[in-house]
Amino acid sequence: MSHYDPVIYSRMLTTLTLAFHIIYATIGVGVPMLIALAEWMGIKRKDPHYLLLARRWARGYTITVAVGVVTGTAIGLQLSLLWPSFMLVAGQSIALPLFMETFAFFIEAIFLGIYLYTWNRFRNPMKHFMLLIPVVIGSSGSAFFITCVNAFMNTPRGFNISDTGKLTDVQPFLAMFTASMPTKAAHVLATAYVTASFILGAMAAMALLKGKNHVYYRKALKITMVAGLIFSLATILIGDLSGKYLAAYQPEKLAAGEWHFKTERYAPLIVGGILDDQNQVHYALKIPYALSILSHGLPSAEVQGLDETPKDLQPPLWIHYMFDLMVSIGMLLLFIGLWYVIAMRRRRKSGESARPLNKLLLSLIVVGAPLSVISIEAGWIYTEVGRQPWILVGFMKTVQGATKSEHVDLMLWIFAGLYLILGVSSAYVLRRMFKHHPAEEELKGGGSKA
């Protein structure tokens, strides 16, 4: 690439920042929920194991939060630095949820600070638990509000553009509650909880695989896998609703993602496969009627094909692979959760619940953690690339929103270096943290040390 094109570099830098941030952001949204579950169970059952679980998770969580906060600040500033023309429009129409997001972030930041330093300050443990509620509301709230902004980019409304390019009739609340908002926000939250469940579950499964058979790890696995199963079910349900939303509002994204070229009834769903230069699909599994059912709930329903979208407004067809990756991992996670719950029920009935779990199941849980993160990435790539060439669907092309500034290429390299350092160092610090303070040792000490 000898020619400097700020648009390409802006897209690359934004992709890089978001792809990196989303890992920590997802953990940031999901983990407080699981810490809250563990601490609540610990208090209710007077079980020090669950309390220690909450405490150890919280300690590791501070590290991921730090990376999440700084990369979140980066993307917040980069929006204006890389997409000034887009932000000019967005500032007038979608500033409200952006603004609310900072309030949610504020609340989360304040109460997380208090929560982490008050383990021993309250006589009544419920008081300490209550501090976590604003953290959960704050972290999930900021995910909700920022997803509103993204939903707006997919289905903008609540404003008009006059012939001179000026924004008129701005209705901030209407812009916030757009067609894609409910499914998007619900999907984002549910998948964040699933991912956090599997990441924390994998830590316990790893310990069990290494032969540690302390009841602490079995309890950790139980709480995370049950939560993981429930949230996976919710995710799949919401995923189905998202399909119906896409069919109604962004049929070109669905058509590109499903390689559905011609409008037709009884549309089959294409799973897997490879596309050749002539747009012929090979090696794919075709599930009859499934796309019609996914789109409209009826096998006979007509699904709009890609041929109804002008060539220059079609999203790239490779997003199909992202869709398949996301869905198949989602299904696998559901399967792992089910397997775990069934296995545990059997054990309890036969009175062998202390017997170590099947190694394959434990290994699958360990693999489930990185897979769930990959699924999040794939899902976001699908939704973001699926609305190309638009930055504001129907109103502004991505090319028009980008900066004209110089040096974007240099910034790309600087940030790539930064994220590499942050990624490696956070993994290193986290590993060290848990390795140097094994749970068994803390349990011996009564589990009360901070």
- Give the Cα separation of 269 and 291 in Å (integer): 5
- Enumerate residues 399-418 that contact other proteins by CB under 8 A: 403-408, 410-411, 414-415, 418
Q: Does 425 bind other proteins (CB under 8 A)?
A: yes
Dihedral in degrees, nearest 10, Cα atoms 66, 69, 75, 77: -110
Instruction: Please state the closest distance from residue 426 (CB atom) to other proteins, in A.
Output: 7
Instruction: Please state the closest distance from residue 84 (CB atom) to other proteins, in A.
Output: 3
Q: Does 155 bind other proteins (CB under 8 A)?
A: no
User: Which of 78/375 has CB closer to other proteins?
Assistant: 78
From residue 170 to residue 189, the character string flagging contacts with other proteins as x (rule: CB under 8 A) and all else as - is: xxxx----------------
Selected binder of other proteins within 7, 19, 116, 234 (CB under 8 A): 116
Beta strand extents in 7-115 (DSSP E only) = none
- Enumerate residues 200-259 that contact other proteins by CB under 8 A: none
User: Which of 361/430 has CB closer to other proteins?
Assistant: 430
Contact 277, 322 (CB under 8 A): no
Selected binder of other proteins within 54, 112, 192, 369 (CB under 8 A): 112
Q: Does 161 bind other proteins (CB under 8 A)?
A: no
- Give the Cα separation of 252 and 314 in Å (integer): 7
* Tokens, residue 205: 């499964």
Instruction: Please state the closest distance from residue 182 (CB atom) to other proteins, in A.
Output: 20
* Tokens, residue 68: 């999440």
Q: Which is it for strands 160-161 and 167-168: parallel, antiparallel or unpaired? A: antiparallel
**276-283: which pairs have CB atoms within 8 A and are 24 or more residues apart?**
279/317
User: Which of 3/349 has CB closer to other proteins?
Assistant: 3
Q: End-to-end alpha-carbon separation of the chain, Å?
A: 53
Selected binder of other proteins within 7, 230, 284, 433 (CB under 8 A): 433
- Enumerate residues 60-99 that contact other proteins by CB under 8 A: 62-63, 65-67, 69-74, 76-78, 80-85, 87-93, 95-96, 98-99
Q: DSSP 3-state assignment of 54?
A: helix
Contact 270, 281 (CB under 8 A): yes
User: Which of 303/408 has CB closer to other proteins?
Assistant: 408
